[in-house]
Amino acid sequence: MGDNEKKYVEEAFSTNWIAPLGPNVDFFEKQLSEYVGVNAAVSLNSGTAALHLALSLMGVNQGDVVLCQSFTFAASAFPILYCGAEPVFVDSESDTWNIDPMLLEHAIEDQLQKGKKITAIVVVHLYGMPAKMNELLVISEKYGIPIIEDAAEALGSTYNNRACGSFGKAGILSFNGNKIITTSGGGALLSNDNSLISKTRHVSAQAKDPAPCYLHTQVGYNYRLSNISAGIGRGQMEVLPERIEKRRAIFEQYKQGLEGLDGISFLEEPNGFFSNRWLTTIVFDENKFKLGTIEDLRQYLETLNIETRPLWKPLHQQPVFINCQMYKNGISDRLFATGLCLPSGSNLSESIIESVITEIKKYFVT
Ligand SMILES: *Cc1c(COP(=O)(O)O)cnc(C)c1O
């Protein structure tokens, strides 16, 4: 936490605004929309809820196909199932690790040929690295299929100086405990489309029609963010620039410390791409290890109390999605088999990062 989160939460108590609305909610939403550069943001109780509403309000229905990046966290695709639609997965390209525009176009052509109705495309800016938005927007336009940007990991990332979350018909953010800023749990839907924004406000608060009695003509959800959580978010927005700087410094320190080792590579920013470096990720050539695999290295670091994690297990490999179609080029499978997320928390000191670097170096064949 920064310095002011507690103050804004106490304000909520002292003014008795303990509800899923109130001044902190309004303020937080204004901060978000101004920061990302969109007409409006609606704060919600999770990123998953934001994605569910985006899909549902953009007309994703039973039996539709939604194309989705395979290399991501499962919450990018779960809401497709909530809508009764069919997730169809698309592999990544190697420059950003995000959805491959060429393969996406091939998937669209193929699905259309099979007579499928494709209602949306879920693009993810994984680990904070922006996806290739220019190419993706051209495809979205060409086929008239809207993009939803999953920017849950990418608050503060930009593509050609424009914020992730501002390109699609809708963008979503997450403020879960593990993200670059947190409200303990929360999310937001971002859009330039005022009609989508007002529909989101309406259905996220139980779809109460304006009438003296409780009148509902639509299905509602209880998805709003509380004024207490929004108070935390309000304070977190003040420290977001520092957090980004810190995460980027952690990335630079790992890179400088490990770059010389033969068989290690980092995810570089292509020209015009700016990543918040939510997590520092690294890909290894396993032939360079003392013991064989990435899992051996992970376990070795664990014995030293250094927690690393495999990269996201692609969704086409997940048992829950095993019957879904996948357009494959092998990239996400290879990343999963050879990559690791290194300790990247904003509270890690330079000397801790240095000790992680030292241990990884020891593991390499010299
Ligand atoms: C965290 C995350 C989500 C879900 O956000 P919650 O707020 O935890 O529901 C969705 N997509 C990605 C890529 C995420 O990392």
For ligand 1, atom 14, the nearest C-alpha belongs to 152
Residue 142: its pLDDT value, please?
98
Distance from the alpha carbon of residue 217 to the mean position of ligand 1, in angstroms: 30
Distance from the alpha carbon of residue 263 to the mean position of ligand 1, in angstroms: 31
Q: How far apart are CA 162 and CA 181, in angstroms?
A: 19
Residue 221: its pLDDT value, please?
98
265, β-bridge pairs: 283
Task: Say yes or no to pLDDT of 6 above 90.
Answer: yes
| CATH, domain range 241-365 | 3.90.1150.10
**R_g (Cα) of the chain, nearest Å:** 21
| Residue list, ligand 1 pocket, CB within 6 Å | 46-48, 72-73, 75-76, 124, 150, 152-153, 174, 176, 187
Q: Within 10 Å of residue 19's Cβ, how many Cβ atoms?
A: 12
Q: Quick one: what percent of the chain has pLDDT higher than 90? A: 94
For ligand 1, atom 8, the nearest C-alpha belongs to 176
Pairing label, strands 147-150, 118-124: parallel
Task: Say yes or no to pLDDT of 116 above 90.
Answer: yes
**What confidence category does residue 288 fall into, taking pLDDT thresholds of 50, 70 and 90?**
confident
Predicted TM-score (pTM) of this structure? 0.97
Average confidence (pLDDT) over 113-125 = 98
Residue 291: its pLDDT value, please?
76
- Kindly report, residue by residue over 53-103, the tens digit of the pLDDT: 999 999 999 999 999 999 999 999 999 999 999 999 999 999 999 999 999
CA distances from 80 to 2, 122, 309 (A): 35, 9, 26
For the CA of 175, the nearest atom of ligand 1: 7
Q: Quick one: what percent of the chain has pLDDT higher than 70? A: 100
Distance from the alpha carbon of residue 296 to the mean position of ligand 1, in angstroms: 28
For the CA of 179, the nearest atom of ligand 1: 1
Average confidence (pLDDT) over 155-164 = 98
Task: Say yes or no to pLDDT of 239 above 80.
Answer: yes
Distance from the alpha carbon of residue 151 to the mean position of ligand 1, in angstroms: 8
- Is residue 89 helix, strand or coil? strand
Average confidence (pLDDT) over 259-266 = 90
Q: Which two tokens stand for residue 70?
A: 């395979």
For ligand 1, mutation pick of 153, 173, 275 (most atoms within 8 Å of CB): 153
For the CA of 51, the nearest atom of ligand 1: 10
Q: How far apart are CA 148 and CA 164, in angstroms?
A: 11
Average confidence (pLDDT) over 323-338 = 97
CA distances from 250 to 175, 180, 245, 266 (A): 21, 13, 9, 13
For ligand 1, atom 2, the nearest C-alpha belongs to 152
For ligand 1, mutation pick of 32, 69, 73 (most atoms within 8 Å of CB): 73
**What confidence category does residue 290 fall into, taking pLDDT thresholds of 50, 70 and 90?**
confident
Query: DSSP states of 168-235 as a string?
Result: SSEEEEE--TTSSS-SSS-EEEEES-HHHHHHHHHHHBTT--SSSS---SS---B-BPPHHHHHHHHH
Task: Say yes or no to pLDDT of 365 above 80.
Answer: no
Average confidence (pLDDT) over 213-236 = 97
**What confidence category does residue 366 fall into, taking pLDDT thresholds of 50, 70 and 90?**
low
For the CA of 185, the nearest atom of ligand 1: 7
Domain boundaries, given as residue ranges, for the chain: 5-239, 241-365
Quick check: do 5-239 and 241-365 share a fold? no
For the CA of 178, the nearest atom of ligand 1: 1
CA distances from 272 to 19, 33, 131 (A): 41, 22, 11
For ligand 1, atom 5, the nearest C-alpha belongs to 47
Distance from the alpha carbon of residue 79 to the mean position of ligand 1, in angstroms: 11
Distance from the alpha carbon of residue 93 to the mean position of ligand 1, in angstroms: 21
Q: How far apart are CA 133 and CA 154, in angstroms?
A: 14
Q: How far apart are CA 318 and CA 303, in angstroms?
A: 27
148, β-bridge pairs: 122, 170
**What confidence category does residue 293 fall into, taking pLDDT thresholds of 50, 70 and 90?**
confident
Residue 245: its pLDDT value, please?
98
pLDDT, mean over the chain: 96
Contacts 24+ apart (CB under 8 A), 197-204: 197/39, 197/40, 197/42, 199/57, 200/42, 200/44, 200/53, 200/54, 200/57, 201/42, 203/53, 203/56, 203/57, 204/42, 204/44, 204/49, 204/53
- Choices 1.10.240.10, 3.40.50.170, 3.30.1490.480, 3.40.640.10: CATH for 5-239: 3.40.640.10
Task: Say yes or no to pLDDT of 338 above 90.
Answer: yes
